[in-house]
Structure 1
C-alpha cells in the first residue's frame, strides 16, 4: 500500500472534519491511520520518524472528534448534514448507515411511505440485510409505511418470515397520511433522508455494475440529516 493512498484517505478525513461531518471523518481517520501503521511495519527508511509523528497527530485528532461527538450527543445538539448530488455514486446503505449500526442497536423504527413498489421493497430487504449483519442484538424492526395492494402485502410477509429466522420481529403498520421519512435507532441516532430508502436510480441494465453493489448506483439528489436524542431509547 502506497503512502499516497494513505495520504489521500487522511486528506478526505481532514476535509470532512473541517465540514463538521465528524462521524464520517472518524471513519476516514481510522482507515488512513491503519494504512500508515501498515506502512510503518515495512521498510520506509528515513520517513519512519515523520510518519510516526503524523500518525500520532491524526490519532490525537480522532480522539478529540470522538469527544466532540459525545459532548454534542449529551447536549442534544448533534447534527450532521450530507447532500447527495444528482447522479452521485458511493452512497450504499453501508456507507450511509453503517457507522451507526452496532451491537448496541436492539430496536429500529423506520418511517417511509414508499415501501410499496417492487424495487422499494427490495431496497427495504437490502436495508434489513445490513441491520442483521451489523446489529447482532437486534430484536425488533418497526416499519410504518402506506398500503398499496396485495403484492406489497405478500412481499412484506416474506420479509417478516425471513427476519423471524434470525429471531427478529418485523412489526408493520400503515398510515394514509404518512409523509416524513426517517430511521430511528434505539441507540439514539435519528437519520432523516429526503427520499427515504428510495434514493438509488435504476441500473442501466440488469447486467450493469450496481445491480447488486449499490455503491456503483447513481443516486437521485437528496439530503441526509443526522441527529441524536437520548430519548430514543424509550421508543
Structure 2
C-alpha cells in the first residue's frame, strides 16, 4: 500500500496533473508580468524583421507580396529562437528544476506545461499580429487563412523541438549560440513545410499536404518531445 493510500490527507494535499499545471502556469504568468518588458521582445523582434525585409526590397508591392509568407514564417521562427535559451535557464539557476524532479508528477508533464507557456508567450502574440504584419508586406488576403493555419500547427512544433535542445544545454553556461546552432537544423523542415504551404496556395495548388505533414509532426512531437526533454534535464542535472 502506498503512502498516499495509507494517508488520505497526504493524497488530498499532493497536487495532481491539473493542479501542478495550474500552479506552474500561474507562477510563469507572475514572472512574466514582472518582466513584461522582456516578454515583448520576441514580438518586437518579429516586427523588426518584417520592417527590415520591407526596406530591403524597397517597399515594392509586387516584390513584397511574393515573399510575404516566407518572411512572416521566418520572423516567427527567429522570434521563438530568441527566447529559446531562457526556456529552462531561470529554473536551473534558482533550483526549480531540482524541485521538478522531486515533484509527485511526471517531469515530462511539467516540461510540456512550460513549453506550452513558452509558445503562448512568444508565438501566440505573433499569431494575433500576423494579419497586421501581413498588411505591411502586402500579403494577399486569400493566403492569410493558410498562413495562420500553418503557423498554428508549426509554431507549437518549433517550441517542442526547441524544448529538447534547451534541455540538452541547460547545464551549460552561455549556451545561447549553441542552442541556435542545434535548433536551426531541426527547424528547417518545419520552415520548409510551413512556408511551402503558403507558396503552394499562392500558386493555386492545394496546401493541404504540407499542413497535414505539419499536423503529423506536431502529434509526434507532443508525444515524444516532453519525454526527451525530461530525460535530457535529468542527464544535465546529474
Give TM-score scaled by structure 2 length: 0.20
Q: Which has the higher strand share?
A: 1
Give TM-score scaled by structure 1 length: 0.20
